[in-house]
């Protein structure tokens, strides 16, 4: 049988439109900073891509900075907030490691913003904490809250959080890496001050991302050299990567309905798992990305599950894929108070080219693996 790839939250397959855009850009010489014809052509490609990426989230092309990926975009948002005077950062306990680590090395104090058992940020905690904020000591409030969690798919109430922060003159950074291209995203509606994106999560190439910022939000350059990206990121721009990102973003903007259809396939798989095996669906009571299923089978180690599935050419994930290939307990599930399940959790995530048959095949193979594991334990 053909391979089944359901690890799109790690990296989605490249869309044909993105691959074609990358190939065209690679065949065209020219540095976008050069004033001759080839340079102007490269500049036109770059700026067209910038418009496509910004349009995906209702952002301004003039305030869209291309980066080397979502990690760099998140780090740029954090460092810019610190440079603007924030000396205490509120970081959601479910944030991606790149946000948590950028905050940890920023030189500012860091407080963990807790979530509930469903993985939703505690807004009452945020309001209470801001009521006690010492602006003289800590500067303007800054908080980071991802729009959709990369492991559970839980969608956060960021529009409410931004309103709370703005009441205190604070800034909200939204990591939209997992959400963009899977659900409609609008910066203005969300109240995002800064927003991070990554191409390879939505069907673009790896190695390119973007930070988009709202009007009046200061961004401080983190790399020095030339004046590229309006002086905010030195170094010759990755024109082929940007072109692929733009084409992928435009295709994603037209394809939300296809991804939304996967919620039915995901829920069908979840029902079969719960009816047959000892499985807990994580974040089930929360609004989630339509193509993401996170579940745990107590005692059935995630690594063992992954190997059993991989032997049948079914590929899924165990937590975040940004840990050098290691299967480690998830800090997201720990933050949700689910330490006992963290070592046995899997993440199944579809993409733009996923079919219902893929979800059915995954479920069939996983249930067979679970039955074998259960039988061995009984002997």
Contact 326, 17 (CB under 8 A): no
Rounded distance, CA 343 to CA 17, Å?
38
Q: What is the pLDDT of residue 206?
A: 98
Q: What is the pLDDT of residue 156?
A: 97
Q: What is the pLDDT of residue 328?
A: 66
Instruction: Return the CATH number of 16-254, one of 3.40.50.300, 3.40.50.720, 3.40.640.10, 3.40.980.10.
Output: 3.40.640.10
Rounded distance, CA 310 to CA 202, Å?
23
Rounded distance, CA 335 to CA 280, Å?
16
Rounded distance, CA 128 to CA 105, Å?
26
The answer as to CATH 3.90.1150.10 being correct for domain 4-12+257-378 is yes
Rounded distance, CA 336 to CA 102, Å?
22
Domain ranges of the chain: 4-12+257-378, 16-254
Q: What is the pLDDT of residue 217?
A: 97
Q: What is the pLDDT of residue 324?
A: 43
Rounded distance, CA 281 to CA 275, Å?
12
Q: Which residues contact 311 (CB under 8 A, 6 or more apart)?
A: none
Question: Which secondary structure element, helix H or strand E, spans residue 148, and what is its range?
Answer: none
Q: What is the pLDDT of residue 306?
A: 96
**pTM to 2 decimals?**
0.95
Residues with catalytic roles:
322
Q: Residue 126: CA atoms inside 13 Å, Cβ hemisphere, count?
A: 32
Q: What is the pLDDT of residue 321?
A: 47
Contact 158, 171 (CB under 8 A): no
Q: From residue 187, how far is each of 84, 125, 195, 264, 344 by CA, in Å?
A: 21, 24, 8, 28, 35
Each residue's pLDDT, cut to its tens digit, for the chain (379 residues) gives 789 999 999 999 999 999 999 999 999 989 999 999 999 999 999 999 999 999 999 999 999 999 999 999 999 999 999 999 999 999 999 999 999 999 999 999 999 999 999 999 999 999 999 999 999 999 999 999 999 999 999 999 999 999 999 999 999 999 999 999 999 999 999 999 999 999 999 999 999 999 999 999 999 998 899 899 999 999 999 999 999 999 999 999 999 998 999 999 999 999 999 999 999 999 999 999 999 999 999 999 999 999 999 999 999 998 644 454 555 668 999 999 898 888 899 999 999 999 999 999 999 999 999 999 999 988 7
């Amino acid at each position: 049988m053909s391979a089944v790839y359901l690890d799109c939250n790690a990296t989605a397959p490249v869309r044909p439109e993105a691959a074609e855009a990358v190939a065209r850009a690679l065949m065209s010489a020219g540095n976008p900073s050069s004033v001759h014809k080839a340079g102007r052509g490269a500049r036109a490609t770059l700026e067209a891509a910038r418009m496509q990426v910004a349009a995906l989230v209702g952002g301004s092309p003039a305030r869209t900075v291309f980066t080397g990926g979502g990690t760099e975009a998140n780090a740029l948002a954090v460092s810019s907030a610190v440079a603007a005077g924030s000396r205490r950062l509120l970081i959601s306990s479910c944030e991606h490691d790149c946000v948590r680590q950028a905050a940890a090395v920023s030189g500012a104090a860091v407080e963990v913003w807790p979530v509930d058992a469903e993985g939703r940020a505690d807004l009452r905690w945020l309001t209470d904490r801001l009521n006690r904020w010492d602006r003289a000591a800590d500067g303007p409030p800054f908080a980071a809250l991802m729009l959709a969690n990369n492991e559970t798919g839980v969608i956060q109430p960021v529009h409410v959080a931004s309103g709370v922060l703005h009441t205190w003159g604070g800034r909200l950074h939204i990591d939209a890496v997992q959400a963009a291209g899977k659900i409609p995203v609008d910066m203005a509606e969300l109240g995002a001050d800064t927003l991070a994106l990554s191409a390879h999560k939505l069907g673009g190439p790896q190695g390119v991302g973007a930070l988009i910022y709202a009007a009046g939000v200061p961004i401080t350059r983190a790399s020095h050299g030339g004046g590229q990206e309006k002086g905010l990121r030195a170094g010759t721009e990755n024109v082929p990567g940007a072109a692929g990102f733009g084409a992928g973003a435009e295709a994603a903007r037209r394809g939300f309905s296809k991804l939304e259809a996967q919620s039915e396939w995901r829920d069908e798989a979840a029902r079969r798992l719960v009816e047959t095996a000892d499985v807990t669906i994580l974040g089930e009571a929360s609004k989630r990305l339509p193509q993401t299923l996170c579940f745990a089978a107590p005692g059935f180690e995630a690594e063992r599950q992954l190997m059993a599935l991989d032997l049948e050419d079914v590929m899924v994930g165990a937590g975040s894929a940004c840990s050098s290939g290691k299967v480690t307990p998830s800090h997201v599930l720990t933050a949700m108070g689910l330490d006992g399940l963290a070592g046995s959790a899997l993440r199944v995530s579809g993409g733009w080219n996923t079919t219902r048959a893929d979800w059915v095949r995954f479920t069939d193979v996983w249930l067979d693996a679970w039955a074998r594991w259960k039988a061995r334990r009984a002997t």
